[in-house]
Amino acid sequence: MIDVATVKEALGRIQDPLLGRTLDELGWLDKVALQGDDTVLLDLAPSYAGAGGELRPLLLAALAPLGVDQLGMRERPVIPRVRAQGGLPGLERVKNIIAVASGKGGVGKSTTAVNLALALAAEGAHVGILDADIYGPSQPMMLGIAPGTKPGVHDNAWFVPIVAHGIEAMSIGFLLDGDNTPVVWRGPKATGALMQLLQQTQWSDLDFLIIDMPPGTGDIQLTLAQKVPVAGAVIVTTPQDIALLDAKKGIEMFRKVEIPVLGVVENMALHICTSCGHAEHIFGSGGGERIARDYQTTLLGALPLDLRIREQADKGRPTVVADPDGEIAGIYRHIARQLGAAVATAAQLDLKKNPTIVFE
């Protein structure tokens, strides 16, 4: 006879191959069930389809000595909801809002946001993206949404998001026309429009809503960080010292309003010469690692400076959909899975603090 404790014991020490942490450390064995004598049912709640695929052989090997040769795993992950900062009420239909931010523009925030959104979707989550970058909305282009496309309006009160590559998208860019350039918007007008876009969009039930935040750490960004009910922030930076300084300001801003920084993504970390394959750290190396260490957060991943990343995003098919099995998509998927683990960990902390919250 097998029992749950023996199974947990056998599986707890297995390391997730991508995350490098054991299932015990990740808290992924909360729901183990047995069916007869030879079947284990697992609900790797916060993990993903990808994780299931790579973990499966390891799990089966650990279970074989117990006489178990059947492993049932849930197909779609159940992603928990993390409480927003300062007790802000969350959006009813959106479990976790993730703010993707950068201290300054041009570091690859939008490229990272869209690939991360698509990678989370590829891992089995329901995902939306809100392009809140009033200085340069770029999600419509990156998602291949034709210029001039407007979201539908429902009941005179709701915007209907546009679906592209399987994710729901809304952009501040959809609301602009003619010479109504957003750059001249004053703070209150910009934040008002962004809050409206967030709250009056008819999202379907989403596990994650990625917000491509306006770059920088000024009044608009601070107001958004105070008003938008987020689960956590991801900071995008290049390894250049100056960008790192800006990234630190970003991290400090989120800390001030008690939003957990779930991690840092280092973009354009390494350049691989297209003709000779030589790898060069043009913007310096190790910056993302340092900043993550200094601020007790995680370096979620580092993307190379690679022409394909730009070309594919420009063509409306970001790398995660253009080349889903490639090395770069793999880095984005790894980041997505780490983010999933960070969200699950945060939800577990909530659970301890407030036992009434349940995994749905």
Ligand X SMILES: Nc1ncnc2c1ncn2[C@@H]1O[C@H](COP(=O)(O)OP(=O)(O)O)[C@@H](O)[C@H]1O
**Number of residues in contact with ligand X under rule CB under 6 A:** 18
**Could you tell me which residues come within 8 angstroms of residue 212 by beta carbon, excluding any fewer than 6 positions away?**
100, 109, 110, 113, 114, 129, 130, 131, 132, 133, 138, 139
Q: Which stretch binds ligand X (CB under 6 A): 8-16, 91-99, 181-189, 299-307?
A: 299-307
Q: Does 267 bind ligand X (CB under 6 A)?
A: yes
Q: Quick one: 56 or 310, whose CB is closer to ligand X?
A: 310
In the chain, the largest separation of any two C-alpha atoms, in whole Å, equals 73
Smallest gap from Cβ 235 to ligand X, in A, equals 11
Q: How far apart are CA 334 and CA 287, in angstroms?
A: 19
Q: Does 313 bind ligand X (CB under 6 A)?
A: yes
> CB under 5 to 8 A by kind: which of ligand X, Mg ion, none does 122 bind?
none
Q: Quick one: 111 or 191, whose CB is closer to ligand X?
A: 111
239 vs 108, 155, 171, 236, CA distance in Å? 12, 47, 28, 10
Q: Quick one: 135 or 359, whose CB is closer to Mg ion?
A: 135
Smallest gap from Cβ 284 to ligand X, in A, equals 15
Q: Quick one: 207 or 306, whose CB is closer to ligand X?
A: 306
Q: How far apart are CA 185 and CA 141, in angstroms?
A: 22
Q: Quick one: 107 or 231, whose CB is closer to ligand X?
A: 107
Q: Which of residues 220-259 bind ligand X (CB under 6 A)?
A: none
Q: Which stretch binds ligand X (CB under 6 A): 86-94, 194-202, 288-296, 301-309?
A: 301-309
Q: Does 238 bind Mg ion (CB under 5 A)?
A: no
For 18, phi then psi, to 5°, come to -90, -35
Q: Which residues pair with 214 in a beta bridge?
A: none
Q: Which stretch binds ligand X (CB under 6 A): 79-87, 124-132, 186-194, 307-315?
A: 307-315
Q: Does 217 bind ligand X (CB under 6 A)?
A: no
Q: Does 109 bind ligand X (CB under 6 A)?
A: yes
> CB under 5 to 8 A by kind: which of Mg ion, ligand X, none does 108 bind?
ligand X
Binding residue for Mg ion (CB under 5 A) from 85, 110, 171, 348? Answer: 110
Q: Quick one: 223 or 267, whose CB is closer to Mg ion?
A: 267
Taking CB positions, which residue lies at the least distance from Mg ion?
110
Q: Does 211 bind ligand X (CB under 6 A)?
A: no
Q: Which stretch binds Mg ion (CB under 5 A): 37-45, 114-122, 126-134, 260-268?
A: 126-134
Q: Does 268 bind ligand X (CB under 6 A)?
A: yes
Q: How far apart are CA 267 and CA 250, in angstroms?
A: 16
Q: Quick one: 171 or 348, whose CB is closer to Mg ion?
A: 171
Binding residue for ligand X (CB under 6 A) from 47, 85, 110, 191? Answer: 110
Contact 32, 41 (CB under 8 A): yes
The dihedral over CA atoms of 346, 350, 352, 357, expressed in degrees to the nearest 10, equals: -130
Q: Quick one: 136 or 324, whose CB is closer to Mg ion?
A: 136
Q: Does 107 bind ligand X (CB under 6 A)?
A: yes
Q: Which of residues 128-147 bind ligand X (CB under 6 A)?
A: 138
Q: How far apart are CA 46 and CA 343, in angstroms?
A: 8
Q: Quick one: 153 or 307, whose CB is closer to ligand X?
A: 307
For 51, phi then psi, to 5°, come to -60, -45
- Footprint of Mg ion (CB under 5 A): 110, 133, 138
Contacts to ligand X by CB under 6 A:
102, 105-111, 138, 215, 267-268, 303, 305-306, 309-310, 313
